[in-house]
Chains A and B, each alone.
Chain A
């Protein structure tokens, strides 16, 4: 706990810094990686940063878990958590679909490297 208090004192919004670092790392991986699987991983990191962002947002200083009980006055905001539950489900669906596509791409092209796929696609004729 001490470390977190210390960090909180010195960095203030340190969880938001983590959000930004994760967000940018994920975004960078999505753009820079040529391997489709790594792109999916990057996309996940990018989404997770948003989950963290919403959860940080719901925290109220000194607030307890949002369950009504005697003697508890300040509650954290549960709404962002509920929203993020939805976003996580959406993220899982997107990841599952992306991975299924990668499997099919591997079957169809024999590779999951984007530059190799592009080279193959470039040589293909436009027949329907």
Chain B
């Protein structure tokens, strides 16, 4: 019997391929070749690496190819360790847990043309999108790939380059391209996107400032801070029995904060109706939000999956 809940999709590394410019392609699949959870073009997944690191990578295969997840990883010797672990320690046959895919582009029938600008390995999310639109022929796609000299994933890009979908700009020969020229003027039928180093994204945001926000898609290597309810405030949980203190970030659930703090709470629905995560409270002003406790019960208990706090400090019977 497993004591710990299963929180990741179990995958096996079925292929590792050198892809040029210090980049390797990793193919992950279900151990029994079952379809994997579906994803949108340009989506990304978290990899839970054997050394305990959790790192996010874009999927570069297309959604129709849902029996595998393909990620391209550039080895960053001076990085935080995720790419080194993948390049140096992970082999075919290794088991890696991954998150459900997140993000990506919701194809919009009103968009007839996509213009993407990618810097180096920032090509990965757009590779998935370009393949998707090339196959479905739903829209025209141009992907401008800006590299210094050597191109990552050259073998995988060659057919897209031949088709004119991918245009390569080598800064060592031509200098940096004019992003305003690549992007063109705002057009309701055109969507533009960018992924690359922060300086490129800043330039891109400057030249697309006049575009409607819904027609501009930016992918950052480092995830932006999560969108938080502007009224949400952080608070502190004091644990009366164990004596500990747990900090709950603005917008975080009490349950997530307690779990981060190593406190194991039984849960089931995580939506405030099943009653599994009922915890006693002693002092403070809880905001209940559940649909299971009676007014009388709320005087002593709260449901940690949905409850918040109106006071800076909330004392729990834990």
- Whether chain B is bound by chain A comes out as no
| Residues in chain B within 8 A of chain A (CB atoms) | none
| Residues in chain A within 8 A of chain B (CB atoms) | none
